Amino acid sequence: MPDDATSPAPRLHRRIGTRPMLAGASAITFLVGTAEASAPDSATQCRAMAEQHLPGARVIEATVVPAGELAVPGQAAVGDLPTLCRIQGVAEPTDRSRIGFEVWMPLAAWNGRIHMVGNGGYSSSIRYNLMGNLVRRGDVAVATDTGHVGDDLEFGFDNREAIADWGHRAVHESIRAGKALTQTYYGAAPRQSYFSGCSTGGHQGLTAAQRYPGDFDGIIAGAPGANRTNLNFGFLWQFLQNHAPGDNLNPILTRADLQLVSRKALRDCDGLDGVADGIVVDPRRCTVDLADLRCRPGEEAATCLTDRKISALSGMRQGARRADTGETIYPAWPVGSEYVEGQGLAEGWDVYWANPRKPDEPQRIDYFRRWSLNDPEWNWWSFDWSTGVDRIRAAMAPLTDAVNPDLSAFRARGGKLILFIGWQDPVVSAYDTIDYFDRVIDTAGGDVSDFAQLYLVPGMGHCALGGGATNFSTSTRNSMPLVADADHDMSLALERWVEEGVAPRRIVAARYRGSTPASGVELTRPLCPYPAVPVYDGRGDPALASSHQCRPPT
């Protein structure tokens, strides 16, 4: 998803007020404990960090941020912060690299952990609110701008080093600098290192596990857009299926059509799990006959689909395919993901079959036009879905993709990986994430539950929100767990797995009447480690997670 861009090391204005630490944050700190290393108490020591010499990187500025609220350009202010040492720096692994990074270090009560947060889309924007969540509970927080400014793909035109920075180097170089600065500041190395992110952040997490298995002890990778080249083929396929040849301006299916299809899926499949709760638990069991939506004579087009629209939708439901062999390039998206109620910016397929800023061109077309082919005039209608696929994969996959199922090095050093994705995600297909995880299992020779888990979240759209129980992690956006413990917060569950060897058996997620627990809990549901699915026991209150058990799919 697009994000507003920020510069790598902006000079920010601060509005400071004295506020108590959040109760949830203090509860989390109590749960995980604190590090033995004592935190420095001098602002002078923080400012002295500006003189630190790092291999391949340099500190631009080191400042003390007093407890209170930090205003950041283009984003909501981050409040309730403890006093922290904020370091802004640049890593330069190549002559053409300028990877901006930030490291936030609490002046007191460091708990011994360092935790990096991921990015979204192709944006340079740092998720400062997630950094704030981390430092409130005593973590050192790290983030990067991925080596550029902005959220379009112009930065990669004729610059493969910039693409490599975005594709895999930025996170590695930033956490390496973050660890070095942490050790210098506190006089002790981090005891554990974590990464969490969704979408591109999930892509970054899988990249770390595959390319740099020593960077993190624990990784949360949500909705990973890691099959990046093929994902962009998927977007292009959707656009072409939804337009008459040569017509870039007039989509066949509209957002209203997608809503019609998605709502029919909910009507037809909501009760398959024995509970009518507005959630399709397992779209693999859901079949929607498009013929049921075909317009009858005299029927208003707003309540049905024409033959032309059914044909376009049927083409999309095949997934992107090669012209020569019929091989799937990128799988179709699950039934019910056509439109996600209440999702926000990424509500449905229409956001990712055309560029919202330039609706007459496919979404992410500059991945091909600017990055792969260096041809700003490339005509996507003439694309060869056989040899063209091979050509672009050869050019881009080594720089951007994270699809290697061999995680043996990460596993051997004790790393733990949690993947999650919403079943209704209209951006990254849940079937692609399942395919990757299945290949991890096959490559490892069987059971991987000692180090890797996948959670499929019913009713969730892209990374968050939607009609399901989607509040289960403080380390990802728009998610607020009901309870600050390892049974309800995926981030704490990962920490317990890494530090105590206790793997999650399930995560209890919540759906609220509003956006926070204070608005009231509508229902709770267990998120089950794949391949298990939640099954209602037929006896208890269907609104409670305790009435649903994780069982093998039928």
Question: What is the per-residue pLDDT for 27?
Answer: 32
What band does 498 get if pLDDT is binned at 50, 70 and 90? very high
What band does 475 get if pLDDT is binned at 50, 70 and 90? confident
Question: What is the per-residue pLDDT for 28?
Answer: 31
Is there a contact between 125 and 4 (Cβ–Cβ < 8 Å)?
Answer: yes
Look up 375 and say whether it is catalytic. no
Is there a contact between 369 and 469 (Cβ–Cβ < 8 Å)?
Answer: no
Tell me the average pLDDT across 376-383: 95
What band does 16 get if pLDDT is binned at 50, 70 and 90? very low
Q: pLDDT tens, 164-213? A: 999 999 999 999 999 999 999 999 999 999 999 999 999 999 999 999 99
Structure tokens at 171: 């996170």
The answer on pLDDT for 19 being more than 80 is no
**Selected residue with higher pLDDT from 92 and 108:** 92
Element (H, E) at 418: strand 416-422
- To the nearest whole percent, how much of the chain has pLDDT over 70? 92
Look up 462 and say whether it is catalytic. yes
What band does 515 get if pLDDT is binned at 50, 70 and 90? confident
The residues pairing with 100 across neighbouring beta strands, listed in sequence order, are 90
Q: Nearest 5°: CA angle at 439, between 438 and 440?
A: 90
Q: How many residues does the chain have?
A: 554
User: Cα separation of 235 and 14, whole Å?
Assistant: 41
Tell me the average pLDDT across 399-411: 99
Tell me the average pLDDT across 255-270: 95
What band does 41 get if pLDDT is binned at 50, 70 and 90? low
User: Cα separation of 59 and 415, whole Å?
Assistant: 29
Q: What is the dihedral angle through the alpha carbons of 37, 475, 165, 344, rounded to the nearest 10 degrees?
A: -160
**Selected residue with higher pLDDT from 353 and 218:** 218
DSSP string, 122-163: T-----HHHHHHHHHTT-EEEEE-TTSSSSSSGGGTT-HHHH
Question: What is the per-residue pLDDT for 36?
Answer: 40
Element (H, E) at 504: none
The overall average pLDDT reported for the chain is 91
Is there a contact between 450 and 501 (Cβ–Cβ < 8 Å)?
Answer: no
The answer on pLDDT for 8 being more than 80 is no
Q: Please write down the HEC assignment for all residues of 210-275.
A: HHCCCCCCEEEEECCCCCHHHHHHHHHHHHHHCCCCCCCCCCCCCHHHHHHHHHHHHHHHHHHHCC
The answer on pLDDT for 478 being more than 90 is no
Question: Which residue among 97, 174, 199, 337 is the active-site one?
Answer: 199
Residues 6+ apart with CB under 8 A from 295: 301, 304, 305, 306
When mean pLDDT is compared across 30-39, 69-78, 276-285, 519-528, the lowest value belongs to: 30-39
Residues 6+ apart with CB under 8 A from 366: 152, 153, 154, 156, 157
Structure tokens at 74: 């283009």
Q: How far is CA 90 from the centre of its chain?
A: 24
Look up 38 and say whether it is catalytic. no
Residues 476, 411, 397, 327: is their CA dihedral positive or negative?
Answer: negative
Element (H, E) at 104: strand 99-106
Question: Which residue among 115, 462, 488, 548 is the active-site one?
Answer: 462
Cis status, amide bond into 531, omega within 30 of 0: yes
Element (H, E) at 450: none
Identify the residue whose tokens are 């790598």: 8
When mean pLDDT is compared across 16-20, 62-66, 283-287, 486-490, the lowest value belongs to: 16-20
The domains of the chain are located at 41-188, 231-396
Query: Nearest CA to 205 among 215, 190, 443, 4?
Result: 215
The answer on pLDDT for 50 being more than 70 is yes
When mean pLDDT is compared across 15-19, 424-428, 499-503, 549-553, the lowest value belongs to: 15-19
What band does 357 get if pLDDT is binned at 50, 70 and 90? confident
Question: Which residue among 282, 425, 432, 489 is the active-site one?
Answer: 425
Question: What is the per-residue pLDDT for 516?
Answer: 86
Tell me the average pLDDT across 217-245: 98
